[in-house]
């Protein structure tokens, strides 16, 4: 079934081919020009002090990106919040909540941590529950400049840090590449998908664009699987199994890469658009396609499962598993941890 949203997104990522693509690129380039003009005006107003920035009652750590999706902001937010909890601190999380998948995933992963959802994150930053915490983690906060931050963490997708170099909607950049200079730390995510020499080239490019800003290297580490009852299984169970992958995320290729690295044999892939809202008919489609292939496992991401579990999964629950991942910093970890500690010790 044709989806205009999916078609446009593929054009933005230079993944679409066809007769109308050049025309679409011209139209999107015109819109990008207007977007860039507006973005520069807003940025100038914050830099000049014409637009006010608010200081929260507790230190703020912002986690964000400059591209549309795919960098792993939610897992990274969980990683940072867990770090503070494990070290005896009381964090809280602020999230705008465009859809309901990220904030439900955060609340499931951080049941003992306040997760404040709402468009007005400045208002939420001054709620009483925040005053009783030690640090505030701002999810998707790089463009949200109304709230001052004590540590500005920028996530870049290592295999595709700047997309095709164009601003939205011609490309996937939310603001110009030069904006990375606002970061206090830059984290390359999904770095295990690239050779070390290629990663070094990206780091050198970033160093040229943002001199002096530390570059941290990370990956998504698969830690376990869960079935619908919550029972936990080792990822070793994936080795040699015939698997059907189902996902509605920005980067399904990395999901597949992670599963293959665990030894899984992918025989079917069903992909939906990012933030996809699953319906019961999707479960029927998954059942028909995956079970006709006689797969051993039906594997989904945590982000997808929070939206699927509200549906009747009876037909697929026997083979349905959720792959659980966590952030693993593979280079410059001490420097990253020192940055987190400086916020709460300053």
pLDDT tens column, 39-70: 999 999 999 999 999 999 999 999 999 998 88
Higher pLDDT, 303 or 8: 303
pLDDT tens column, 217-240: 999 999 999 999 999 999 999 999
Q: What mean pLDDT is predicted for residues 92-106?
A: 83
pLDDT tens column, 146-165: 999 999 999 999 999 998 89
pLDDT of residue 9: 77
Query: 319: pLDDT confidence band, cut at 50, 70 and 90?
Result: very high
pTM attached to this predicted model: 0.93
pLDDT tens column, 240-296: 999 999 999 989 999 999 999 999 999 999 998 888 889 999 999 999 888 777 899
Strands (E), 97-212: 115-117, 135-139, 151-157, 185-189
Residues 6+ away with beta carbon under 8 Å from 303: 74, 101, 102, 105, 248, 249
> How is the chain split into domains, by residue range?
60-219+328-345, 221-327
Given CATH 3.40.50, say whether it is the number of domain 221-327.
yes
Is 60-219+328-345's fold the same as 221-327's? yes
How far is Cα 211 from Cα 194, in angstroms, rounded to an integer?
A: 23
pLDDT of residue 99: 59
Task: Using DSSP, state whether 185 is helix, strand or coil.
Answer: strand
∠ CA 180-213-63, nearest 5°, is 55
Length of the chain: 346
Report which of 39, 51, 130 is spatially closest to residue 93, judged by C-alpha positions.
Answer: 130
CATH topology of domain 60-219+328-345: Rossmann fold (3.40.50)
Q: What are the phi and psi torsion angles at 268 (to 5°)?
A: -145, 145
pLDDT of residue 345: 81
pLDDT of residue 191: 96
pLDDT of residue 229: 92
Asked if 313 contacts 341 with a C-beta cutoff of 8 angstroms, the reply is no
């Amino acid at each position: 079934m044709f989806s205009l949203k999916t078609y446009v997104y593929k054009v933005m990522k230079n993944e679409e081919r066809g007769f109308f693509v050049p025309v679409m690129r011209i139209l999107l380039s015109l819109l990008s020009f207007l977007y860039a003009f507006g973005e520069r005006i807003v940025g100038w107003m914050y830099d000049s002090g014409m637009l006010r920035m608010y200081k929260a009652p507790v230190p703020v750590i912002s986690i964000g990106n400059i591209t549309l999706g795919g960098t792993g902001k939610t897992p990274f937010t969980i990683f940072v919040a867990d770090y503070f909890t494990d070290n005896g601190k009381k964090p809280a999380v602020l999230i705008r909540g465009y859809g309901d998948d990220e904030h439900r995933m955060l609340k499931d992963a951080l049941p003992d941590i306040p997760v404040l959802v709402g468009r007005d994150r400045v208002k939420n930053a001054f709620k009483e529950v925040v005053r009783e915490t030690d640090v505030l983690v701002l999810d998707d906060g790089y463009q949200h400049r109304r709230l001052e931050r004590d540590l500005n963490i920028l996530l870049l997708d290592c295999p595709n840090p700047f997309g095709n170099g164009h601003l939205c909607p011609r490309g996937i950049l939310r603001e110009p590449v030069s904006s990375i200079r606002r970061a206090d730390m830059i984290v390359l995510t999904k770095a295990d998908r690239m050779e070390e020499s290629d990663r070094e080239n990206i780091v050198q490019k970033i160093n040229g664009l943002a001199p002096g800003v530390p570059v941290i290297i990370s990956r998504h580490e698969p830690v376990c699987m869960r079935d619908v009852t919550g029972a936990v299984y080792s990822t070793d169970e994936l080795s040699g199994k015939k698997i059907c992958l189902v996902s509605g995320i920005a980067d399904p290729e990395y999901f597949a890469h992670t599963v293959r690295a665990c030894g899984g044999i992918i025989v079917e892939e069903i992909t939906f658009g990012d933030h996809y809202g699953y319906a019961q008919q999707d479960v029927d489609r998954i059942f028909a396609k995956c079970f006709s292939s006689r797969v051993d496992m039906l594997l989904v991401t945590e982000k997808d499962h929070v939206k699927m579990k509200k549906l009747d999964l009876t037909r697929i629950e026997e083979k349905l598993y959720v792959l659980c991942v966590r952030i693993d910093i593979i280079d410059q970890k001490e420097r990253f941890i020192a940055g987190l500690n400086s916020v709460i010790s300053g």
